[in-house]
Every structure is written in structure tokens, then in C-alpha cells.
Structure 1
Amino acid sequence: MTFETDHLGFLLNPLDWQPAWAEQSAEQLDIALEAQDLAIIESLRNFYFEFDLSPPMRPLVKHIKNNFGADIGNSIWLMQRYGESPARTLALLSGLPKPKNCL
């Protein structure tokens, strides 16, 4: 399956997102998606469509903490799971634009 992306690999239209996009992107990042990852992705998609914002790191951590608990709603856990830029990685997996201020 092919998806239209920008020069950084982010999905051009968030409405084109499908679970296959997340699976394909995760595979390229060497991340084995689990049910919890898919729940986080769905939550971030809801956040984006409610606030018209791909959350950068601080709002991302707060959102995950509020929705999934302090055990995973912290920057250490997120960086261990999604690499040095969790906001960027999760936006990519969620089919959202790259968050502002992410390299």
C-alpha cells in the first residue's frame, strides 16, 4: 500500500491514515507495535482533530499521562519506547504533521 508523504516521510493528509500506515512506519523504525501503542496513536489522532495540533513533547507527555497514567506518561518511558524524539515518532505513526519545534 502506498501513501502520499512529504519530504520527511510524514503523511500529507491525516485523513488518509490507516492502521497499515502505522504498521508500515513502525516497521521502518524497527518498532513492534503493541495494543498500547495503537491506543496511544488513536488518542493522538483524537487530540489532533480536536485541537488541530500535533503535540510537541510537553503537551504530548501531559496528554499521555492524563489518558494512560504516570507509568507511561513521562518523557523517560516515551524516549525508551519511541526514541530520542517521541513527539516526532508518534506523529509519524499517527499520520499527523511533524510537531512544531521537532527536529
Structure 2
Amino acid sequence: MAYEVNGKTIEADEEGFLVNINDWNEELAGLVAKDEGIDMSPEHWEVVNFLREYYAEYQIAPAVRVLTKAIAKKMGPDKGNNKYLYELFPYGPGKQACKIAGLPKPTGCV
């Protein structure tokens, strides 16, 4: 599988996760989100950017439970809960948000 952005082909695995996370950019994120049926809002970007920062620091994509706790710590309990995150990313905040953020599939995701 591959994505086309500005005439450039960006490789992804069979599930749509980027092969090389350095290929990521916001345009590509928008394209992946569209494929996932998500219309990116500032709230979506907030989670995507949080994930990218988390990955840069820890070199791992967090599982949902870890993601929820980390977001609650940084952005407060209104955003750091499953209900809020699943409203943004109905197919799973860990898996779907990581895919849009250009990160590898989180460990423990099916």
C-alpha cells in the first residue's frame, strides 16, 4: 500500500501504517484521516501532535490505556478519557490516531 502526496509516493504497510515515520507530514495525515473517514478538527490535531511528541520522547506508540492517562495528565480529565478519545477516533484512539500521526501500530493493538 502507498499514499500519494504532492506527486510523491509514500510507502505504507498493508494496514496503512507508514513504513518510514520520517515520511510523515500534515498533508499526509489529512489524507490518511480522510481514508479513515475522519474530518480533522483542532481536537484531532491536538491528539495527533501529542502522539508524535510522545513517540519522539519514548520511541514507542502508547497503548490506549497509557495514551488516556498521558493525555489526562497533560490536557486534563475532560480529554484524557476513553469516551472523548473514541468520539474523535471511533476505530480506536490508539490504532487510528497513531496511523494518522504516522507512527507504528501501538503494541497490544489488534
Asked if Structure 1 and Structure 2 have the same fold, meaning a TM-score greater than 0.5 normalized by the shorter chain, the answer is yes
Q: 1:40, 1:86 → 2: CA distance?
A: 9
Q: Specify every segment of 5 or more residues in structure 1 that has no aligned partner in the other structure, as ranges.
A: none
The higher relative CO (CA closer than 8 Å, separation ≥ 6) is in 1
Q: Specify every segment of 5 or more residues in structure 2 that has no aligned partner in the other structure, as ranges.
A: none
The structure in which a higher percent of residues are strand is 2
Question: TM-score, with normalisation over the residues of structure 1?
Answer: 0.93
Give the length in aligned residue pairs.
Answer: 103
Letter of the aligned partner of 1:81 in structure 2?
A: L
Q: 2:101, 2:74 → 1: CA distance?
A: 16
Structure 1 position 79 matched with structure 2 position 86:
yes
Letter of the aligned partner of 1:95 in structure 2?
A: G
The structure in which a higher percent of residues are helix is 1
Q: 1:7, 1:92 → 2: CA distance?
A: 12
Match for residue 43 of structure 2? 36
User: Identity across aligned pairs (percent)?
Assistant: 32
Question: TM-score, with normalisation over the residues of structure 2?
Answer: 0.87
Bigger CA radius of gyration: 2
